[in-house]
Structure 1
């Protein structure tokens, strides 16, 4: 089994040919391998890198068909696993991510303090200056949905693509089940939570220049909402009903039953009072209010438990031992 060391960088490339070469030139000597993934770029950015880049660390991989940013990153992960890289950092090719921050992202992973690091452009008020208002509003809304669907309540800026991951977690991921387009970063967080990985935010300042984004926010609202709803149901159902049944599971089930039942009963009784002109009795009001109050309290108690259950202990060392055992067992066989 390869002894992990060093840092590899993965750069998905699609319509960023003018920014790609300057970005590569800024990557410092702390990085030993650079993988440029040409995701069927119509500008043939990968070919331009092959012809004009003399950096021996750079390898270009070309997709015959466009698979999306997630597919490009996963391809880069697979190639990085063939090296001795302990940490794999993903940089977008559009120049928004400062390569000077690479050490900041890799350090907590190399020090064994975390399994995955991601950028946070909202760490300080001053960081958001210059950020387009549409992205600012969209990220604020997506943050809460991602917290609920992933279980990482202490993170922000979930769609930030400046990330670093331990190789052990990459080996553990079921890559075929991870979203390959714009939902990639959010879906990856869900899968990392299933592996109980420790995720940390890394403060960074956003950089916006003349790059063009192919993201259409209004077209993405529906798919993002459905993706978060699916992951929330999967995480809650598996985590509280199958993997670990606890008092929090009972609170969740009763709260999810009592709150809507009381609300529906109260609404029906209110409508009946309007239609008949007969005020509801105190008993009827209490019969509607109590399930709502108790259900709300139970859901809040479950939410408090869920927030406190965020992974705290890095798992990559444990996974490394498991993967070493699998390798040895396979070799013995």
Structure 2
């Protein structure tokens, strides 16, 4: 394979996007060799619509017998592209939000060897983000903070952005059957990529909103998303700090948490006892509580500094053998 002339594929999950999808396909430039339209049991039969009205020879329609969600649709597209020998797969939504003219910007860092995976970021231009609905802006800010913790990619923002590109050599080592198939898909991808030490780079793009309807709800962020972030956070800690590698940070975090919790519990218990007795808490007791709290906080901050500095920086897609994580 030659990275000078990579074979580029575009994957378009298709579900209730019949009004927009032909325009999306028409906007995809000649640098793309194959376009996979994944009809995810669309009630509007968008796959049949594309077959009937699109004459672009690059288009391949894949039809799901059952709805699998956006994650399942993208995984089907990745599998088809890898089987056809594609080198880089770009995922574009079918609702017309994403400017296909930006595809070269997304594949550029991968071709240059600077990234394994690229994703859009609508927050680079502060003037442009004023177009974003306030509720969606708030949701993205909260998700970005949670994603930094759970994925380990502290330098990324806008985690739900679905405009992405990935090198096939990185994608083929992802556990396709374990990646979230619904709205948590993009965030779960980042967690899985971190377990491979893949390099992820943000690509600036403008926010664009038309007549599409978002199904991402704040209630989902607070409940379902939060629980999945907690799960991925602890799994990442186990993989990166205890299973795959051991470092000083592996000791700092549990020791810091233990000291912080122990000092806080000790202080609260003695404060309650003093309050019940109507007596001031002894200075020595205050110090015995405050000292482990301060030391525990410092240890946790030291762990976070190590974790932030450990963001993957070396692209792995040219390596022939990669480890797969659960």
Q: What TM-score, normalized to structure 1? A: 0.94
Instruction: Find the aligned partners of 1:117 and 1:80 in 2 and give their Cα distance.
Output: 17
- The Cα of 1:127 is off from its aligned counterpart by 2.3
Question: What residue in structure 2 maps to residue 117 of structure 1?
Answer: 118
Instruction: Find the aligned partners of 1:37 and 1:27 in 2 and give their Cα distance.
Output: 16
Instruction: Find the aligned partners of 1:176 and 1:84 in 2 and give their Cα distance.
Output: 21
Instruction: Find the aligned partners of 1:146 and 1:113 in 2 and give their Cα distance.
Output: 22
SS of residue in 2 equivalent to 1:215: coil
Matched, 1:322 2:321: yes
Aligned pairs for 1:188-227 (under 5 A) are: 188-227=189-228
* Residues 139 and 221, structure 2, Cα contact 8 Å, conserved in 1: no
Judging by fraction of residues, say which structure has more helix: 1
SS of residue in 2 equivalent to 1:125: coil
- The Cα of 1:276 is off from its aligned counterpart by 0.8
Aligned pairs for 1:239-250 (under 5 A) are: 239-250=240-251
Matched, 1:300 2:317: no
Question: What residue in structure 1 maps to residue 234 of structure 2?
Answer: 233
SS of residue in 1 equivalent to 2:318: helix
SS of residue in 2 equivalent to 1:289: helix
Question: What residue in structure 2 maps to residue 141 of structure 1?
Answer: 142
Question: What residue in structure 2 maps to residue 103 of structure 1?
Answer: 104
RMSD: 1.2
Instruction: Find the aligned partners of 1:238 and 1:167 in 2 and give their Cα distance.
Output: 23
Post-superposition Cα deviations, 1:209-265, rounded to whole Å, max 9, x if no partner, equal 111223333234311001100000001122112221111111111101001111111
Post-superposition Cα deviations, 1:136-168, rounded to whole Å, max 9, x if no partner, equal 000101111101100000000011100000000
Question: What residue in structure 1 maps to residue 261 of structure 2?
Answer: 260
Question: What residue in structure 2 maps to residue 169 of structure 1?
Answer: 170
SS of residue in 1 equivalent to 2:155: coil
Instruction: Find the aligned partners of 1:214 and 1:14 in 2 and give their Cα distance.
Output: 12
* Residues 150 and 189, structure 1, Cα contact 8 Å, conserved in 2: yes
Aligned pairs for 1:84-95 (under 5 A) are: 84-95=85-96
Instruction: Find the aligned partners of 1:219 and 1:66 in 2 and give their Cα distance.
Output: 20
* Residues 3 and 84, structure 1, Cα contact 8 Å, conserved in 2: no
* Residues 114 and 314, structure 1, Cα contact 8 Å, conserved in 2: yes
**Most deviating of 23-32 and 262-271:** 262-271
List runs of 5+ in structure 2 lacking aligned partners: none
**Most deviating of 193-202 and 207-216:** 207-216
* Residues 139 and 159, structure 1, Cα contact 8 Å, conserved in 2: yes
Count of residue pairs brought into register by the alignment: 320
Question: What residue in structure 2 maps to residue 327 of structure 1?
Answer: none
Instruction: Find the aligned partners of 1:122 and 1:269 in 2 and give their Cα distance.
Output: 47
Matched, 1:33 2:34: yes
- The Cα of 1:3 is off from its aligned counterpart by 6.4
* Residues 150 and 193, structure 1, Cα contact 8 Å, conserved in 2: yes
* Residues 86 and 110, structure 1, Cα contact 8 Å, conserved in 2: no
Question: What residue in structure 1 maps to residue 290 of structure 2?
Answer: 289
Instruction: Find the aligned partners of 2:51 and 2:152 in 1 and give their Cα distance.
Output: 41
Question: What residue in structure 2 maps to residue 330 of structure 1?
Answer: none
Instruction: Find the aligned partners of 2:41 and 2:199 in 1 and give their Cα distance.
Output: 33
SS of residue in 2 equivalent to 1:51: helix
Instruction: Find the aligned partners of 1:275 and 1:124 in 2 and give their Cα distance.
Output: 56
List runs of 5+ in structure 1 lacking aligned partners: 324-333
Question: What residue in structure 1 maps to residue 48 of structure 2?
Answer: 47
- The Cα of 1:84 is off from its aligned counterpart by 2.9
Instruction: Find the aligned partners of 2:215 and 2:155 in 1 and give their Cα distance.
Output: 29
Instruction: Find the aligned partners of 2:137 and 2:50 in 1 and give their Cα distance.
Output: 33
Question: What residue in structure 1 maps to residue 65 of structure 2?
Answer: 64
